[in-house]
Chain A
């Protein structure tokens, strides 16, 4: 690991509550190298956004320390803010300004001069397909479009760290793909991306390094392969039959199935068994029936996520 973008040590955030205080983040410690796409995953209420709020200086930790590029979020918040751009979970745009003014204003706050901001805005407008609406006030645009403007703003500046809290909310698939391409491009150029998401395929596709958290604590950490290896002997099968066998439900009930879904003539199931056993089970299911398509694969990030967070729950 080269330069460290994030250093978090024993970080705690407690919220006062009438009955008992809630530890939204409970002693998290981790480091993230520069140029990494770092994913924070966890179910609702896991503490991801609270952690991000502390890292972006929005919220003060109850105890512990967090540093962004060596600057302490409590002692040097301004130095931290000079080095970050963030997309918070809620839609955040200046509704009374036009799309272009939103981009230019954001750049101004980050000290980008007017000429550079204008040329950069043209690029971002093009990349985010904002051209048709560029002079309209954001209050006249749809929710998805507002989110698009919000994410586009962070590409107006070249801060070394970018925080994205569920960035793809409300985005159409085409735009999402383009933003993901941009994120990869920025990371290749040394920008550190810290993202939270509920869409595991996004994390699977983007992240070099993933931390799964639940109830304010770290549950697992590593790259995709490391995490998948945590979920030993979990396999996903997908079988499309010419016609769905009538006794499939009773047959499945005898198998070590974690999850199963039958739709039309396709069975999708997650099995927890040794590799040899899984192959035998698949052969048994295929016997005496015409199978049009069959696929057996190792555990997905979703399987790992569900297994780890269920154990913790």
Chain B
């Protein structure tokens, strides 16, 4: 427990004393909502006007998923930072197990994403008057918890098995593009070509977005969302097991 507290303290000090991280972790997804969301809503209108939902309401779950995806990617990149600073290997001689090291990092990441979610929900309500289903907000936090953990473990696999920073950055850029655009993040899937729908349905970020959309504004089918959340859980567990294996292989 002491080791995990120490990890949280370390990550907290690094983030709190570096403005760049605060921008990327807390405000970047919000900027998406403020610029992209407002822009699409005003210029193109809502794809769900029949359900009396504007684009901002549709996009809220996407912003939350994007936040957990982005924060997880940033934290997994910190493996590189630690390795370049030499501190990564020194830390492996500290009194903490490798799983505690991983757990400390992921808990901190989750904490940041939940803070981010709270800010996004508050601003969504205040600025865009989104009708949030407050009774389901605990589910939003649960989705941020599981989602951030899943994405962190997924990205950690690449961070721990790639030696070069530029290779990792290329991989994450490609993943960012594929995962975010081949999903239900920016548009509903129904009007899209079949091949696109199949790809998007198999995309774990779609599962997380669908859950968050249901938990924020009540959009979607509860049965389908439950199925997708189970799939996402399986994805997260598999990613965790493989990431721990990669960490154990570090020497």
Footprint of B on A, CB under 8 Å? 53, 56-60, 77-78, 81-82, 84-86, 88, 90-98, 101, 105-106, 108-111, 137, 150, 163
Contacts and interface: CB of A to CB of B under 8 A. Distances in A.
Interface of B: 2-3, 5-6, 9-10, 13-14, 17-18, 81, 85-87, 89-97, 251
Contacts of B18: 96
A91 B86 contact: yes
A92 B89 contact: yes
Nearest to A57: B93
Most buried by A among B2, B9, B90, B96: B90
Given A101-B13, A105-B10, A109-B3, A94 B93 contact: no
A88 B14 contact: no
Given A59-B251, A60-B251, A93-B87, A81 B93 contact: yes
B86 A78 contact: no
Contact of B2 (A56, A111, A137): A111
B95 A58 contact: no
A94 B17 contact: no
Given A59-B251, A84-B93, A105 B9 contact: yes
A113 to B, nearest CB: 10
Contacts of A96: 14, 17-18, 81
Most chain A CB inside 10 Å of its own CB: which residue of B14, B85, B87, B96: B87
A124 B25 CA distance: 34
A6 to B, nearest CB: 15
Contacts of A108: 5-6, 9-10
A109 B92 contact: no
Given A97-B17, A109-B95, A92 B3 contact: no
A59 to B, nearest CB: 4
A92 B14 contact: no
